[in-house]
Amino acid sequence: MSRTVLGVTVLASLAAPAAPAASQRPAGWDAFVRTFDAYAAADGIVGASVVVAHGGRVTARLDRGWADRDARQRADSSTIYHWGSITKTLTAVAVMQLRDRGRLSLDDPVTRYVPELRAVHNPWGAMDDVTIGMLLSHSAGFQGPTWPYTAGEPWEPFEPTRWEQLVAMLPYQRLWFAPGSRYGYSNPAFVYLARVVEGITGDAWQSYVYKNLFGPLGLSRSYFGVTPYHLARDRSNNYAVVRDSTSAERVVAGGREFDPGITIPNGGWNAPPGELVRWFAFLAGAAPVDGPLTRLYDGVLARRTLREMWQARYLAADPVAEAAGTPDSIGLSFFVLWRHGARFVGHTGSQAGFRAFAYLNPSTGAVVVAAFNTRNDARSEQSGAGFRAVRDAALGLIAR
C-alpha cells in the first residue's frame, strides 16, 4: 500500500501558505521520516500528514498515502482530517476567556450552570463540590467515555446525539474517585464545560467558537459536523484495519462523514493540518517585534492565562514516561510532557478511524502536528505503542 502524509499551510503573521525549503527542515528530519514510514507500513495507515512549524512558519511537512483510497485521492496540504480530542483545547480556551472576562471562576461549582449533574451519585459528598477547574484538569471523577453503554452492536449509536440522552443517563452514573483527588481522563467533562459556555453566553458552543476563536484567528477551513459543500472534496475518508473470520487483516472504509453527536465539544474539530498549525501558533505567541500579531493573540487570550493552563496539576499515567523518570502531567486541558530534555504541551486525538497529535515547545515556539486517517483494530496494543513512538520521535524535531 502506498503512503503519503498531509501537508500544512505556512503561517507568517497570518500570511498565505508556502512550501518549506529543504534547508529549513529541523535536525533529524530524515531519520524521523524513516521512523514514520516504518510505522505507517506496519500499521496499515492509508493516509497521514505531519507538519513542523516555528514562529508560525512551516519548516517541514510530509504527506503520505490516500485521503480516499477508492477515489484515488492523495493526501495533500488541503486534506481535511478529524482531530478528535485536540478539540478540547478549544473548549478550554473558551472557558478561560470567560474566566478572564469575569464571567466565571474556576472554583465555581459546575452545578451552578449545569444543575442536571446533581443527579449523578457522588459517594464522597455533594455534586456541588465539583468545580469548573476540576473538569478542565480531568480531576472531577467522571467516567472516561461519553457513551458508556455499548456492546459493540452495529445498530448502536456511534455517540449520543442529544443533550437529553446524557441527562437521562445521569441518575445511573457515579463518580469514580473523590473530586480533586487525582487525574482521570473524561470526555463528558468537556460536554459539561460546553454547557457552561452556552449557559453564560447564550450562544451554542459551536457559534461561540466560530465567533471568538476561529474568526479572530482566521481559521476559515475549520468546522464541526457535516462538511460544508465547498470543502467536501478535501474531506478525508477514515479507515479501520480489522481481522476477519480467517484471521486475515483487511482495511475497511468508514465513510467521509460520521456523526460525533453531543461529543463535538470534546472531539469534533475537522480541519486541514495548516489550521492546527495556525491554532498552535496562537498558543505559542507572536515574536516580540510583531506588535499587531501580539495584540491579536492577546485579545483572544492573555499569555499569562495560557501559561497558567500549562502548569502541571496532576500526574497523568503513562508507564513508559514514568519508567523513564519523566511522568506526564495534566494542566488545564493541556498535557505536559518531558521528552528529549525538553518540555512540551499539547494533546492527542482519536475518534472513528482518525488519530492525531499536536504539541508545542513553549520555550522555542516550535510546533509539530500530525494526523492519520486509519485505526488498527486488529493489533490495537501494538498500534498504540507505535503511535506513541512516532509522537515521541516527532517531539524530538522541536526539542531545540
What is the band of 1 on the pLDDT scale with cuts at 50, 70, 90?
very low
Alpha helices in the chain (DSSP H): 29-43, 88-100, 132-136, 163-169, 188-201, 205-209, 215-217, 264-267, 273-284, 291-300, 303-309, 319-323, 380-397
Domain ranges of the chain: 1-83+269-400, 84-225+260-267
Band of the pLDDT at 134, cuts 50, 70, 90?
very high
pLDDT of residue 327: 86
Give the pLDDT band (50/70/90) at residue 318: low
How far is residue 114's CA from residue 124's CA, in Å, rounded to a whole number?
Answer: 19
Instruction: List, for residues 356-366, the tens digit of each pLDDT value.
Output: 999 999 999 99
When pLDDT is cut at 50, 70 and 90, the band that residue 10 belongs to is very low
pLDDT at 15 over 50: no
At residue 244 the predicted structure's pLDDT band, cuts being 50, 70 and 90, is confident
- pLDDT reported for residue 44: 96
| Residue 267 predicted with pLDDT over 90 | yes
* pLDDT single digits (tens) 17-69: 445 666 689 999 999 999 999 999 999 999 999 999 998 899 999 999 999 99
- Count of H helices and E strands in the chain? 13, 15
pLDDT at residue number 13: 33
**Full-prediction pTM beyond 0.95?**
no
The Cβ-side half-sphere exposure at 104, using a 13 Å CA radius, reads 24
CATH 3.40.710 given to domain 1-83+269-400: yes
SS (H, E, C) 165-227: HHHHHHHHCECCCCCCCCCCCCCHHHHHHHHHHHHHHCCCHHHHHHHHHHHHHCCCCCEECCC
Fold category of 84-225+260-267 in CATH: Beta-lactamase (3.40.710)
pLDDT at 23: 62
